[in-house]
């Protein structure tokens, strides 16, 4: 398919911009004026719409079909939420509007904070972080501020992370200026408590843990882990990536965690948008509240809502304004549609995952044979050993059956990993069709492995060469073919 730049013809345009009469001539000082215009596409409006409509048909979303991408919680995104964010009172509200002109927005944010505090079992919430990974970084900044305030920041330099963690956890640790301590996983898929005991002491600042873990397993040693960390005076950080498993069932605050980030785009249905936006609010215990980012959203005695900028112990700001407001509208709407029935949402997510696991576990390898939570990790290592078919091949072949593949090759401790998260919003018929496809692929691997190796067969493109892309990166259109004059221009300008 052509790029929009390859459909461009000089002199075409989709826009017309008003220019009232009688205005002064627009003036820019000579040395600051743009010399060469940017080569943006020149297309009429209908070509624009056709181009992006065609692109959309070459993409697969939750609206297209089953999308069991592990750890990403690809659930249905209710359409009413898309209508609600376009209400002029939300979409056209300027973030510098005075408080008395933004009472509806502030009340929505405050109510969302209250709901998130209840769901996480913690005391105070900041909505500001833009996504889960920024929530992590913000949480680690809170850890640092807390220990600075206690005079222990020089001594507490280490953050403990299990080997099953998302890559964001160690990356956030580095960006926050902390040192990493790795801890292993035991034979049942829990944190190895014996390994842990020797690694936690007065130099430890915090634990970062996803529970249920990226293996989809609830850590059976969590009570002991809590005693170890709090006994050493360290804090506990909960990566809320997998919160969809436990809403209304078990709360991170009740598990002993002091800081939690919530992925609004996972558990609370902000559409993933092809990669974003997300939302990564953090909830904390009361002793960490003074350090939350500024401003905080507050409720006043007179029933009004406001922003509190006067926070002497704050870590500062982590993004602009109060956070991604449109995400808050959608997630607030989603949670109001469930109310206390959020528990049913999590129960359905866990039931669906266990059902698919039960149907597939004989055909694929399973490293930890337990009941799972909202997701589970299979391995294609026997398929690879016996038939040369890898997790990648299984993933590509699933496309031919009309399903988005699971997350593959993660977590790192499972070879040939296939990480499957069905979420709650699927019919049993869909789950069965997916299981049938996975079983059929396991048979195909034995009978005609080339079907897997050459997959996908039914997508707009065949298997793409990622190595080639990285070896000689072409990350923008070159214009040379479309515009021979530009081809002669000096390179690297």
Partner 1 sequence: MTHPYLALTDADKAEMLRTIGVSSVEELFRDIPAGMRLGRELDLEPALSEQELSAHLGELAARNVDTTRELSFLGGGIYDHYVPAVVDAVLQRGEFLTAYTPYQPEMSQGVLQSIFEYQTAICELTGMDVSNASGYDGETVTADACYIAKHATGRTTVVVTEATNPQVRQVVKTYAPGFGLEVVEVPHRGGTTDPDELRQAAEGAAAVIFQQPNFFGCLESAPELAAAAGDALPIAHVDPLSLGVLEAPGRYGCAIALGEGQAAGNFPSYGGPHYGFLAARQEFIRRMPGRIVGETVDTAGERGYVLTLQTREQHIRREKATSNITTNQTLLALAGLVYLTWLGPQGLRDVGETCLALAAHTKQRLRERAGVELVFPDQTTFKEFAVRVGRNARDVIRDARELGVHPGYALGRDYAGMDDVLLVAVTEKRTPAEIDRLADVLAEVGR
Binding residues for partner 1, rule CB under 8 A, total 206
319 binds partner 1 (CB under 8 A): yes
Rounded-to-integer distance, Cα 69 and Cα 405, Å? 6
Rounded-to-integer distance, Cα 477 and Cα 180, Å? 40
Residues between 325 and 344 with contacts to partner 1, criterion CB under 8 A: 325-327, 329, 332-333, 335-344
**CA quadruple 381, 384, 387, 390: dihedral sign:** positive
Residues between 202 and 231 with contacts to partner 1, criterion CB under 8 A: 217-218, 220, 222-223
Looking at 67, 238, 401, 434, which residue binds partner 1 (CB under 8 A)? 67
Fill in the per-residue mask, 414 to 453: x = in contact with partner 1 (CB under 8 A), - = not in contact. ----------xxxxx-------------------------
Residue placing its CB nearer to partner 1 in the complex, 322 or 442:
322
Give the nearest distance from C-beta 151 to partner 1 in angstroms. 16
Residue placing its CB nearer to partner 1 in the complex, 49 or 386:
49
Give the nearest distance from C-beta 26 to partner 1 in angstroms. 4
Helix (H) or strand (E) holding 294: none
Tally Cβ neighbours within 10 Å of residue 325. Answer: 19
Rounded-to-integer distance, Cα 385 and Cα 388, Å? 6
388 binds partner 1 (CB under 8 A): no
Rounded-to-integer distance, Cα 132 and Cα 144, Å? 19
The Cα-based distances of 68 to 113, 325, 399, 422, 460 in angstroms read 29, 27, 12, 5, 21
Looking at 473, 484, 485, 488, which residue binds partner 1 (CB under 8 A)? 473
What are the backbone dihedrals phi and psi of residue 430, each rounded to the nearest 5 degrees, phi first?
A: -65, -45
Residues between 253 and 292 with contacts to partner 1, criterion CB under 8 A: 254-255, 263, 265, 271-279
397 binds partner 1 (CB under 8 A): no
Rounded-to-integer distance, Cα 216 and Cα 210, Å? 9
Residues between 140 and 169 with contacts to partner 1, criterion CB under 8 A: 140-141, 144, 166-168
Give the nearest distance from C-beta 384 to partner 1 in angstroms. 19
Residue 406 CB contacts under 8 Å (≥ 6 apart), including other chains: 68, 69, 70, 395, 398, 418, 419, 420, 421
Looking at 323, 368, 419, 420, which residue binds partner 1 (CB under 8 A)? 323
Looking at 61, 233, 290, 449, which residue binds partner 1 (CB under 8 A)? 61
């Amino acid at each position: 398919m052509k790029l929009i730049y390859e459909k461009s013809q000089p002199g075409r345009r989709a826009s017309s911009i008003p220019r009232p009469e009688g205005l002064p001539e627009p003036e820019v000082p000579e040395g600051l004026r743009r010399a060469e215009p940017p080569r943006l596409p020149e297309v009429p409006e209908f070509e624009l719409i056709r181009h992006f409509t065609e692109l959309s048909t070459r993409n697969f979303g939750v609206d297209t079909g089953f999308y069991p991408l592990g750890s990403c919680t690809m659930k249905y995104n209710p359409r009413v939420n898309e209508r609600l964010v376009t209400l002029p009172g939300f979409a056209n509200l300027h973030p510098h509007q005075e408080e008395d002109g933004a009472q509806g927005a502030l009340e929505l944010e405050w109510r969302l904070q209250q709901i998130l505090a209840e769901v996480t079992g913690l005391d105070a919430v900041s909505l500001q972080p833009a996504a889960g990974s920024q929530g992590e970084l913000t949480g680690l900044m809170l850890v640092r501020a807390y220990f600075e305030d206690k005079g222990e920041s020089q001594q507490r330099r280490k953050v403990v992370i299990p080997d099953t963690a998302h890559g964001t956890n160690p990356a956030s640790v580095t960006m926050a200026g902390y040192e990493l301590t790795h801890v292993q996983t035991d034979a049942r898929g829990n944190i190895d408590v014996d390994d842990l005991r020797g690694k936690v002491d007065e130099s430890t600042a915090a634990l970062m843990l996803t529970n249920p873990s990226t293996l989809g397993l609830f850590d059976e040693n969590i009570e002991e882990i809590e005693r170890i960390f709090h006994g050493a005076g360290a804090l506990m950080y909960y990566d809320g990536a997998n919160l969809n498993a436990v809403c209304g069932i078990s709360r991170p605050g009740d598990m002993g965690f002091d800081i939690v980030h919530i992925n609004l785009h996972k558990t609370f249905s902000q559409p993933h948008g092809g990669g974003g936006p997300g939302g990564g609010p953090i909830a904390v215990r009361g002793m960490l509240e003074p350090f939350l980012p500024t401003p905080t959203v507050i409720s006043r005695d007179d029933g009004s809502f406001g922003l509190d900028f006067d926070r002497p112990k704050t870590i500062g700001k982590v993004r602009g304004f109060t956070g991604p407001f449109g995400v808050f509208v959608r997630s607030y709407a989603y949670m109001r549609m469930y109310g206390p029935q959020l528990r049913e949402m999590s129960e359905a997510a866990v039931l669906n995952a266990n059902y698919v696991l039960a149907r597939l576990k004989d055909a694929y390898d399973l490293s930890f044979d337990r009941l799972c939570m909202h997701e589970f990790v299979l391995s294609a290592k026997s398929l690879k050993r016996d038939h040369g078919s890898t997790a990648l091949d299984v993933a590509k072949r699933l496309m031919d059956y009309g399903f988005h593949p699971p997350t593959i090759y993660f977590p790192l401790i499972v070879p040939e990993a296939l990480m499957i998260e069905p979420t709650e919003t699927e019919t049993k018929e869909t789950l069965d069709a997916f299981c049938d496809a996975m079983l059929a692929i396991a048979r195909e691997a034995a009978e005609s492995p080339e079907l897997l190796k050459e997959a996908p067969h039914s997508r707009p493109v065949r298997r793409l060469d990622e190595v080639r892309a990285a070896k000689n990166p072409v990350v923008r259109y070159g214009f040379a073919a479309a515009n021979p004059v530009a081809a002669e221009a000096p390179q690297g300008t």
